[in-house]
Amino acid sequence: MRHQKFTPRADYRLAEAQRTHASVSLAEKFRELKSLTVEFGHFSPEGVTRNSQIKYTVNPVHAKSVFRLDCPNSECIGGDYDLSEALTQTVSARKGTASGEMCCQGWLSKTTIDRVHCHNILRYKLSLEYGLQVSNGLVPLQAV
């Protein structure tokens, strides 16, 4: 039997995975949200060097309302990026797009806990589409 070694990073990621899994879906939380496309890039702490760039479309029925992305630093502890509040504000204002920048507040590595923050940067753009609203609720969009 193989024993899993727990580390501060593994413990944090497990807790975040459980928090995400326990949340309701985007479709349940935001009934008017019909589609979400996320574009994001990871940058070095200086904000100059882009380490990765990703664009993907989220299925609101299956995606969770705790909407977070991992820090690309494989040794980062307690960091990552939680876009849940940015998404909530964007949907509440019924905006079609939102963009921003977040700085990872985790620790650079297990040897720098309580001394050196990670500070990797995430630059993101959220593109949202909504269903049509009528007085008695939402009408799903239909192709013509």
Domain that includes residue 66, residue range: 25-130
- Is the per-residue pLDDT at 144 higher than 50? no
Taken in order 80, 84, 87, 93, is the CA torsion positive or negative?
negative
User: Across residues 101-129, what is the average pLDDT?
Assistant: 96
Average pLDDT score over residue span 85-89: 97
How many domains is the chain partitioned into structurally? 1
pLDDT above 80 for 143: no
Q: Is the pLDDT of residue 21 over 60?
A: yes
Instruction: State the average pLDDT over residues 96-124.
Output: 96
CA atoms within 13 A on the CB side of 144: 0
Burial of 132 (C-beta count, 10 Å sphere; 0-12/13-18/19+) = exposed
Q: What CATH number corresponds to the domain at position 63?
A: 3.10.50
Tell me the per-residue pLDDT of 30-47, one tens digit each, with 9 for 90 and over: 999 999 999 999 999 999
Please check whether residue 18 lies inside any domain of the structure.
no
Has residue 122 got a pLDDT over 70? yes
Q: What is the mean pLDDT of the segment spanning 58-71?
A: 96
